[in-house]
Chain A
Amino acid sequence: MPADDATAIERVFRAEYGRAVAVLVRVFGDIDIAEEAVQEAFAVAVQRWPPDGMPPSPAGWIITTARNRAIDRLRREASRDDRHAQAQLLHARDEPAEEAAVSDDRLRLIFTCCHPALAPSAQVALTLRLLGGLGTAEIARAFLVPEPTMAQRLVRAKGKIRATAIPYRVPTEAELPHRLPAVLAVIYLIFNEGHTASSGDQLVRDDLCAEAIRLARLLAALMPDEPEVMGLLALVLLIQARRAARTASDEVLVVLADQDRARWDRGLIAEGQAIVRACLRRDQPGPYQIQAAINAVHSDAASAADTDWRQILRLYDHLLVLAPGPVVALNRAVAVAEVDGPETALGVLDDLHLDGYHLFHAIRADLLRRLGRSTDASAAYDAAIALTANTAERTFLQRRRRGITHGG
């Protein structure tokens, strides 16, 4: 198969896998049947599409093919007196399989994946697997666990969904406040893992970022009246807008202050800022909206020196009230350094217990460097370097550290 055909099918797979699985889960009421059928349909596509050409609606083709394959298989099993297969066939007869019949199939599935009865680590893995179409090996790599561990985690989670009958449905208005935060957290976690991969040679895992943005857009399209859903979308768009400026030609991290702002994506910034303005008008603030607003302030500044740090500090103060925690306090300290000076910020850091977090040491190192405390700064950079498994980030920190030694 020519390489561009393979790429085209890969693209359809990435874009449509989640939709196809979501439709098939609804039709058959079973995740394993849905996954196997969709994978089989893509295997058929790899055979058929290159000689025959791509069908007019690739997603529709995949869903129809997957549904037919699954029904064929269930018929064979049902004729052998398999009661489980008979029940699923019966289920399938009542459910329409058209791709557009129910637009919120993916929404149902994401709420199933992020059900509170599942452990957070399982929620993330299931969401990436079922809605993102990521392979077990990819998910295992993304979260630094051995592949058999991740495989077992997925099997156990799917087993729990089946055995306990976790429903495929969007929560009611009354349940939503309890159920939505897990979904938002999972999408943001996927984005963050993509934004700064916790290990490997690449700083950014563009596939994970793209997947998180796709999920955030989907959620925003399906739940436009939820302020935090819109806040999350604005947040990931505004961070993603800086993507091109965030790595130098040699793949090393470029921090916000040093970025070439001409390389920021103006389209994404405009989209993100428009959402932030709409959120401000609605005035139902939440942690994602405030973080989006902080990023909107950054994206407003023509240069690092033009940044309205007082405004950012005010937003962090608000964030710390709504979502208290050491990591928020750490990020707030960066704004404190700009407004009140590095000495004050260093005092803030002293009260945080984040010794295992590389960014804590990196931020501390930078404050010490600015205060001229070279030896302490070097030691803090060493601590940060020892804790980061991402090559691009580590190279950046090593250069910063060398910069101190040379500068005295």
Chain B
Amino acid sequence: MKQYLLSVHSVEGGAPRPPEAMQQAYQDVAALNTELQEAGAWVFAGGLHPPSTATVVRVQDGAVLITDGPFAEGKEQIGGFWVIRAADLDAALEWAARAARACAEPVEVRPFQEEAGD
């Protein structure tokens, strides 16, 4: 089995979604998480606070430097992610399609370097 990162990309500054749509998204994501767990594909997942809450830590000349984030300056930011186990890319893409539908945001799929240890 391989492991894939499914990251949800949101564009900042878009029109806020109505509460009903947000509620629906929470429900859909919860349902998807249950399915991932039942299918044995679940490794880890989580939604993130907005990029304005990010802090960047770097080491410069041996000293730790802490600055206000986010690191990436672009408008597109990661809003949340899943780490899943899947047999191949097609299986991962299928989960990603359902994730994209549940969140109503684009989802990027990237493989982990190491195989899942099972």
Contact = CB atoms under 8 A, between A and B. Distances in A.
Interface of A: 115, 117, 163-167, 169, 175
A169 to B, nearest CB: 8
Contacts of B80: none
Interface centre among B87, B88, B89, B109 (most CB of A within 10 A): B89
Contacts of B110: 164
Contact of B93 (A117, A163, A169): A117
Nearest to A166: B89
Interface string B3-43: 01000000000000000000000000000000000000000
A196 B87 CA distance: 42
B88 A165 contact: yes
Contacts of B109: 164
Main secondary structure of the interface of B (DSSP, over half): mixed
25 contacts: A115-B89, A117-B89, A117-B93, A163-B111, A163-B113, A164-B4, A164-B89, A164-B92, A164-B109, A164-B110, A164-B111, A165-B2, A165-B87, A165-B88, A165-B89, A165-B111, A166-B88, A166-B89, A166-B90, A167-B87, A167-B88, A167-B89, A167-B90, A169-B90, A175-B90
Interface in B93-118: 93, 109-111, 113
Interface string B52-82: 0000000000000000000000000000000
A169 B91 CA distance: 12
A167 B110 CA distance: 15
A115 B90 CA distance: 9
A163 B4 CA distance: 10
Interface residues of B, number: 12
A165 B92 CA distance: 10
Interface centre among A165, A167, A175 (most CB of B within 10 A): A165
Contacts of B111: 163-165
A175 B88 CA distance: 15
A157 to B, nearest CB: 13
A13 B93 CA distance: 36
Contacts of B92: 164
A107 to B, nearest CB: 15
A283 B90 CA distance: 32
A169 B110 CA distance: 20
A175 B93 CA distance: 12
B92 to A, nearest CB: 8
Contacts of B90: 166-167, 169, 175
Contacts of A164: 4, 89, 92, 109-111
Contacts of A163: 111, 113
A203 B92 CA distance: 44
A159 to B, nearest CB: 11
Contacts of A117: 89, 93
A81 to B, nearest CB: 17
Nearest to A162: B111
Leading 6 A-B pairs by shortest Cβ distance: A167-B88, A165-B88, A164-B89, A164-B111, A166-B89, A165-B2
B31 to A, nearest CB: 21
Given A163-B111, A167-B88, A175-B90, 11 more contacts: A117-B89, A117-B93, A163-B113, A164-B111, A165-B87, A165-B88, A165-B111, A166-B88, A166-B90, A167-B87, A169-B90
A142 B57 CA distance: 49
